[in-house]
Amino acid sequence: MLNPNATMTEQIAQVAIRFGEGQTGHAPDAATVVLSADTLVITLHGALSPAERDLARTPEGAAQVQEFHRQLFATSCMSMREEIRRITGVEVREATAEVETSTGTVVHAFTTGTMVQVFLLARSLPGETWNGTGAIDSS
């Protein structure tokens, strides 16, 4: 359950952590949420399981982790988009999740376990509408 007194930032971070755990069964360690004009960026820290981090150490394994997370995000991001709309009151126009391995290959999960999610909103939110900054731990 979301804290009703939480800022938009905190609410989106809480939803992102739950979303990440719901996708993989592994809860990210923390989430950072940043809004700049019409771009919302969510960084999930510690998003990969220990097995995924081990697998992503080789180029072949990184490709497998990349494809898994790319497909997972593509097939399940609608609920995250709906939650962002509910919290902000603005539709999400585009959504993507990309990450880079130590080899420089763009993948859906960092080898460090960090995932960056970028949501492009349909319009900008006025600064006075957006409240809060920072990160929230999943604990």
Domain boundary assignment for the chain: 8-124
Q: What percentage of the chain has pLDDT greater than the value 70?
A: 76
This prediction's pTM: 0.75
Residues 6+ apart with CB under 8 A from 137: 29, 30
Q: Per-residue pLDDT tens for 74-125?
A: 888 899 999 999 999 998 888 877 765 442 323 233 334 566 677 767 877 7
Q: Per-residue pLDDT tens for 23-34?
A: 888 888 888 888
**pLDDT of residue 11 exceeding 80:** yes
**Cα–Cα nearest to 89, from 18, 32, 8, 13:** 8
What angle is formed at CA 39 by the lines to CA 27 and CA 110, rounded to 5 degrees?
40
pLDDT at residue 34 in the model: 82
**pLDDT of residue 22 exceeding 70:** yes
Domain 8-124 has CATH 1.25.40: no
**Mode of pairing for the β-strands spanning 92-100 and 39-45:** unpaired
